[in-house]
Amino acid sequence: MTKRNLIADVLRLKSEKNALILAHNYQIPEIHAVADIVGDSLELALAARKATEPVLVLCGVRFMAETAHILNPEKKVLLPDSDAGCPLADFLTPGMILEAKEKYPEAAVVVYINSTAECKAVSDSVCTSGNAVRIVKSLKQRQVIFGPDTNLASYVQSVLPEKEIIPIPEGGHCYVHMQFDTEDLKEVKTAGISIMVHPECPANIRVHADHVISTGKMAEIAKTGSAWYICTEVGMLDRLKELCPDQSFIGLEDAICADMKKTSLQELITCLRDLTGEVIVPPEIMEKARRALEYMISVP
């Protein structure tokens, strides 16, 4: 079947099932083409929270589908590829958080949205790469246990020296954002190209950035220049080209998140046709995790 036919099938099934398709920026362009909303984790979470359709299809990874279900529990939330996970989220367990809380009883706990529902349930707040600084700043506690991304933790610490960020676990990282090279960035700079870096990149990469920002903000900032080097997952280059076709975006072709590339049009068709891949967060986890997510959403 041609790509055009597959896209037509997805759109027909989407309408038949009254489904809303939410796709992360890192998904393949064909998935962007059929999605109602394309965005970063926060944009998808907020769109899922206010969705009125009975079926929400999350083209992304598992924690995103869990978040959608927590924020809008009446809906049927589907993840087209049930194996699409996030190796960064897998670094952290609720046991690690509880252990850190015992060691630092005065500290607040903030988990990155890239974490399991169980971890969110034992935390005070969730954050995204775009609002992590704001969330940590909003807390009255000086000490903040923060996981699972040590790079995002070090970024927040660099912006908020008045806080003591306690990163957990040791070495938590996203392998995709660890692949950038400082020598490449120096060459890019010399060629007059501006650089945007995702805060999941380590400090030696962030130091070369013109902007350290979430993928959601990259689309806005892109309009302020004509040529950009993008330090994040390679799918963001496709997304930026869709949004700003007259501008030039380069990055690292090898910075591929294998889990984000698992969702195909064919899988999406099966998921919509048979309503498979439902993600259900147990009620006792859901209530507690929702408190942490709603705190994040409440911070202006």
Binding site for ligand SF4 (CB under 6 A): 61, 86-88, 114, 174, 176, 233, 257, 259-260
Task: Between 177 and 208, name the residue whose CB sits nearer to ligand SF4.
Answer: 177
In the complex, least distance from residue 152 CB atom to ligand SF4, rounded to whole angstroms: 10
In the complex, least distance from residue 198 CB atom to ligand SF4, rounded to whole angstroms: 9
Q: What is the dihedral of CA 51, 57, 61, 62, to 10 degrees?
A: 80
Contacts of 295 (CB under 8 A, 6+ apart): 124, 125, 126, 135
Contact 63, 77 (CB under 8 A): no
d(CA 42, CA 44): 5
Task: Between 63 and 269, name the residue whose CB sits nearer to ligand SF4.
Answer: 63
Tell which residue, 205, 227, 101, 86, has the closest CA to residue 154.
Answer: 205
Task: Between 98 and 203, name the residue whose CB sits nearer to ligand SF4.
Answer: 203
Task: Between 107 and 114, name the residue whose CB sits nearer to ligand SF4.
Answer: 114
Q: Residue 128, Cβ neighbours under 10 Å: how many?
A: 22
Task: Between 125 and 232, name the residue whose CB sits nearer to ligand SF4.
Answer: 232
In the complex, least distance from residue 6 CB atom to ligand SF4, rounded to whole angstroms: 24
How remote is the C-alpha of 205 from its chain's centroid? 19
Task: Between 17 and 91, name the residue whose CB sits nearer to ligand SF4.
Answer: 91
In the complex, least distance from residue 13 CB atom to ligand SF4, rounded to whole angstroms: 26
In the complex, least distance from residue 291 CB atom to ligand SF4, rounded to whole angstroms: 24
Single-letter amino acid, residue 172:
G
Contacts of 165 (CB under 8 A, 6+ apart): 136, 144, 146, 153, 154, 156, 157
In the complex, least distance from residue 149 CB atom to ligand SF4, rounded to whole angstroms: 8
The pair phi, psi for residue 18, each rounded to 5°, is 50, 55
In the complex, least distance from residue 141 CB atom to ligand SF4, rounded to whole angstroms: 26
Catalogue the E-assigned strands of the chain.
Answer: 19-24, 37-39, 55-59, 76-78, 108-112, 125-127, 143-147, 164-167, 194-197, 211-212, 227-231, 248-251
Task: Between 86 and 230, name the residue whose CB sits nearer to ligand SF4.
Answer: 86
